[in-house]
Amino acid sequence: MSAQESVPKSAAARPPLSGEVRHDWSVEQVRALFALPFNDLMFQAQNVHRTHFDPNEVQVSSLLSIKTGSCSEDCAYCPQSAHYDTGLGKEGLMPVADVLEAARQAKAQGAGRFCMGAAWRSPNDRDIERVCDMIEGVKALGMETCVTLGMLTDGQTHRLKAAGLDYYNHNLDTSEAYYSEIITTRTYQDRLDTLERVREAGLNVCCGGIVGMGEGDEDRAALLVQLANLPKHPESVPINMLVQVEGTPLAGAAKLDPLTFVRTIAVARILMPLSRVRLSAGRTEMSDELQALCFLAGANSIFYGEKLLTTDNPVADSDKQLFQRLGLRMAGFYASA
């Protein structure tokens, strides 16, 4: 049954055209947004987007895997999990000098933010110190910094803040109801607790989810409600399309309707009007036309470069060409690029 068929026409959401910041959304209201005629939903999302952002500007980040593979978590989508045989080798934490060289290259290509991801359930304090050295080095290049390292202690979040970290990424992935179908090695509350620690340390939050994992309409709505009803909206909201990797439990899953993905971007924009909504994983498999619809729906951030941790991403030149065709500008794009 489609979203349009399963939501009563009387379950109309409060008109969001003003782009007001709310933290009291219900799943019923968000399901009603998903069920709007496509043109009406796009119109509402574009109106909200234009209220708060330049509609032709996209923030650009680059992502590097600084520690790859052998993660103890069992996330069903992840090729880095030690639970699955995906042919991905285990690599230790990269030397700081190599990370900084990658950051220089990312800056030369035009990225304004450098994100570093490590396949840990939770890092130890020694690892945090090495990551702090990376953060300080990237900041010295004049770039914003973001890391994703798993679950953190209070002391670790404050140490990262002291090193100059700008953003911490920790995705909720899906709805609380569907979560146990995807991950069993940590709880949904574990993720919420880490987000609270990050926020209390004064760090910006990057938090979103993955769609196309077999979840239903209710789960996509519930995920966005959870994000929008946090005490403060995440400053960055990545919306990922599942990248299927052979050897993971989700390899061979039914493909999500591309227009449902666009609807998810649009609803995220309406619910979190001040956040950067990032068109994230899965872009390699998206046509230029689908990406254009996502930008129209309110996506205004991308990852830029050849890799998203361990999966392919459109190369920089392809992004530049698409942006030129669409008349989009890269926020923070360096003139020397």
Catalytic residues: 71, 75, 78, 115, 146, 206, 278
Residue with tokens 């001040």: 274
**Around 236, how many Cα atoms within 13 Å sit in the side-chain half-sphere?**
28
Distance in angstroms between the alpha carbons of the first and the last residue of the chain: 48
Cβ-based neighbours of 62, under 8 Å, separated by 6 or more: 103, 106, 109, 111, 113, 114, 115, 303, 304, 305
**Interatomic CA distance for residues 288 and 290, integer angstroms:** 6
**Beta strands in the chain, from DSSP E residues, in sequence order:** 57-67, 113-118, 144-148, 167-169, 204-206, 209-211, 236-241, 276-279, 301-303, 307-308, 311-312, 329-331
Please say whether the beta carbons of 265 and 239 come within 8 A: yes
Structure tokens at 162: 């002291």
